[in-house]
């Protein structure tokens, strides 16, 4: 357990190179898991009004999920590399990904038409 703690919370003053590499790998794996969950949640919100068949169809073909997963990973990695902290990257990527999905959900629910690109200019 002490070894795992030294990987998750490394001491910058006396850390070996291998521990620092493991720390970065651990952070990137956590970020990828976060992005997969965020993608699944975003797909659920965007297709919730159309029935569960649409949501299940996203997972029938892995390429559909991967192509929706890729922008989320790019956004999260971009902010993670700029800020060098996990929680702001997670927070910013969640806001940027879930906001349009939730807007799509409520727009279809109340108005019956999907969210289009020109709707962002109305904000």
> Tens digits of per-residue pLDDT, 29-52?
999 999 999 999 998 988 787 788
Rg (Cα) of the chain, in Å, rounded?
A: 18
pLDDT bracket for residue 123 (50, 70, 90):
low
pLDDT at 7 over 70: no
Nearest Cα neighbor of 54 from 68, 71, 75 is 68
Torsion angle of C-alpha atoms 90, 96, 102, 104, degrees rounded to 10 = -150
How much is the pLDDT for 12? 72
Residue 75 near residue 93, CB atoms below 8 Å: yes
Residue count (the chain): 123
pLDDT at 104 over 90: no
Rounded Cα gap, residues 37 and 29, in angstroms:
13
Residue 108 near residue 116, CB atoms below 8 Å: no
- How many angstroms separate the most distant Cα atoms in the chain? 59
């Amino acid at each position: 357990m002490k070894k795992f703690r030294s990987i998750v919370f490394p001491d910058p003053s006396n850390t070996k190179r291998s521990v620092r590499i493991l720390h970065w790998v651990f952070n990137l794996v956590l970020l990828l898991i976060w992005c997969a969950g965020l993608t699944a949640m975003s797909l659920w919100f965007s297709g919730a009004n159309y029935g569960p068949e649409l949501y299940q169809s996203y997972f029938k073909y892995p390429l559909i999920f991967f192509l929706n997963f890729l922008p989320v990973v790019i956004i999260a990695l971009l902010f993670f590399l700029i800020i060098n902290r996990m929680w702001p990257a997670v927070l910013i990527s969640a806001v940027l990904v879930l906001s349009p999905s939730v807007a799509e959900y409520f727009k279809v629910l109340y108005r019956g038409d999907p969210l289009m690109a020109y709707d962002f200019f109305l904000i």
